[in-house]
Amino acid sequence: MNNQEIIEVGGKYVMNTYGRLPMALVKGEGVKVWDADGNEYLDFIAGLAVNSLGHCHPAVTEAIARQACALMHCSNIYWIEPQVKLARLLAENSDLDKVFFCNSGAEANEGAIKLARKYAKQHLGSGKYEIITALNSFHGRTLAAITATGQAKYQQGLEPLPAGFKYVPFGNIEALKEAVGPHTCAVMLEPVQGEGGVNLAAQEYWNQVQELCSEEGLLLILDEVQCGLGRTGKFLAYMHYGLKPDIVTLAKALGGGFPIGAMMAVEKVASAFQPGDHAATFGGNPLASAAALAAMNTMLNEGIILNAEKVGNYFKHKLTELAAKYPVISEVRGLGLMLGAQLTVPGADIVSYCQQKGLLINCANGNVLRFIPPLIITESDVDKVVNLLDEALGKIEKRV
Binding region for pyridoxal 5'-phosphate: 105-106, 138, 223-226, 281
Contact 26, 7 (CB under 8 A): no
Determine the Cα–Cα distance for residues 317 and 132; give it in Å rounded to an integer: 35
**Binding site feature residues for N(2)-acetyl-L-ornithine:** 141
Determine the Cα–Cα distance for residues 238 and 249; give it in Å rounded to an integer: 12
| Chain Cα centroid distance, residue 31 | 18
| 3-state SS, one letter per residue, for 218-232 | CEEEEECCCCCCCCC
Report which residue type is found at 261: G
Helix (H, G, I), strand (E, B) or coil at 372: coil
Q: Length of the chain, please? A: 400
Strands (E), 52-210: 98-102, 130-134, 165-168, 184-189
Contact 340, 370 (CB under 8 A): yes
Helix (H, G, I), strand (E, B) or coil at 310: helix
Element (H, E) at 381: helix 379-399
Contact 224, 90 (CB under 8 A): no
From the number of C-beta atoms within 10 Å of its C-beta (0-12, 13-18, 19+), residue 354 rates as buried
DSSP at 159: P
Cα angle, residue 161 at apex, residues 155 and 162 outer, rounded to 5°: 135
One-character DSSP codes across 177-200: HHH--TTEEEEEE-SSBTTTTSB-
**Binding site feature residues:** 105-106, 138, 141, 223-226, 281
Determine the Cα–Cα distance for residues 269 and 216; give it in Å rounded to an integer: 16
- On the question of a cis peptide bond just before residue 373, with omega within 30 degrees of 0, the verdict is no
Determine the Cα–Cα distance for residues 192 and 117; give it in Å rounded to an integer: 24
Contact 136, 199 (CB under 8 A): yes
Number of H helices, E strands in the chain: 13, 15
| Chain Cα centroid distance, residue 4 | 31
